[in-house]
């Protein structure tokens, strides 16, 4: 026999490697092959719109109307893509019911959020009164907006940035995204984390687009990107 490690040393080394691998798997998001295939199919089916949207003399955000919706393609700093759909599906006691549907390689997650806008379209004044989250076809889970899972609460607080109006910039730009050609988009750079990118972000918005009006968002510090895929001013239906 050749020289080798004592059996106890071999066992300890093997166990340590196994624990590292298990720990890495537990920490990282788990990819669902079926969800990945479904997402890849939807991404491949995206066809750029040839429609052109004219500029406006001043940025006047579109008023909220139940039925409005937007769909954005998100590319994170690691190049992974997902699809996020935002819908206004109802009103209750002066607040709006917003539904957010996130489709990623980890699966499909939908949230139904009752949002009170205490400072208009400013996200800092938006209060989540009710938050229900459903993963896949599971039954919805109620998450307490004040004391529930902090990661879930933070994720859907950030989601409100695609409902809010980020403000009006002085610069204008023409932007082509899969959702169309938008002439005279208003540009503004956020001073802090924004939406799904969670970094200071260069935003391009257009008043033809409902909800936040965001056509494109580019992270100022990472390769993150948000692009408008499609939108509508009516027709949104609840998935709950």
Q: What is the pLDDT of residue 60?
A: 82
Distance in angstroms (rounded) separating the CA atoms of residues 62 and 87? 14
> Is 30 domain-assigned?
no
Q: What is the pLDDT of residue 100?
A: 97
pLDDT tens for 198-209 read 999 999 999 999
Beta-carbon neighbour count of residue 89 at 10 Å? 18
> Is 41 domain-assigned?
no
> Is 227 domain-assigned?
yes
Q: What is the pLDDT of residue 28?
A: 55
Task: Label the pairing between strands 171-177 and 214-219.
Answer: unpaired
pTM of this prediction?
0.85
Q: Which two tokens stand for residue 213?
A: 């009006």
Question: In sequence order, what are the residues at sequence separation of 6 or more whose Cβ sits closer than 8 angstroms to the Cβ of residue 83?
Answer: 39, 42, 43, 71, 72, 73, 74, 102, 103, 104, 229
**Length of the chain, please?**
240
Q: What is the pLDDT of residue 203?
A: 94
> Is 2 domain-assigned?
no
> Is 29 domain-assigned?
no
Distance in angstroms (rounded) separating the CA atoms of residues 97 and 112? 7
Flag residues of the chain having pLDDT under 50. 1-27
> Is 205 domain-assigned?
yes
Domain count within the chain: 1
**Structural domain range at position 202:** 52-232
CATH of residue 171's domain is: 2.50.20
> Is 104 domain-assigned?
yes
> Is 97 domain-assigned?
yes
Q: What is the pLDDT of residue 146?
A: 87
């Amino acid at each position: 026999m050749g020289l080798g490690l004592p059996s106890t040393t071999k066992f300890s080394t093997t166990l340590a490697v196994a624990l590292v691998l298990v720990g890495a798997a537990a920490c990282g998001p788990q990819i669902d092959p079926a969800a990945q295939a479904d997402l890849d199919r939807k991404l491949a089916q995206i066809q750029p719109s040839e429609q052109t949207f004219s500029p406006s003399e001043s940025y006047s955000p579109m008023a909220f109307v139940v039925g409005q919706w937007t769909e954005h393609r998100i590319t994170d700093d690691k190049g992974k893509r997902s699809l996020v759909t935002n819908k206004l599906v109802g009103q209750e006691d002066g607040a709006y019911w917003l539904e957010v549907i996130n489709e990623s390689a980890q699966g499909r997650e939908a949230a139904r959020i009752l949002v009170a806008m205490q400072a208009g379209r400013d996200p800092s004044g938006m209060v989540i009164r009710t938050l229900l989250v459903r993963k896949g076809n599971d039954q919805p889970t109620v998450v307490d907006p004040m004391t529930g899972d902090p990661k879930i609460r933070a994720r859907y607080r950030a989601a409100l940035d695609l409902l809010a109006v980020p403000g009006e910039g002085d610069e204008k730009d023409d932007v082509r995204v899969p959702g169309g050609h938008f002439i005279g988009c208003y540009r503004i750079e956020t001073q802090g984390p924004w939406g799904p990118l969670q970094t200071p972000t260069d935003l391009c918005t257009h008043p033809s687009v409902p909800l936040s009006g965001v056509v494109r968002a580019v992270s100022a510090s990472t390769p993150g990107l948000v692009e408008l895929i499609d939108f509508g001013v009516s027709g949104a239906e609840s998935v709950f």
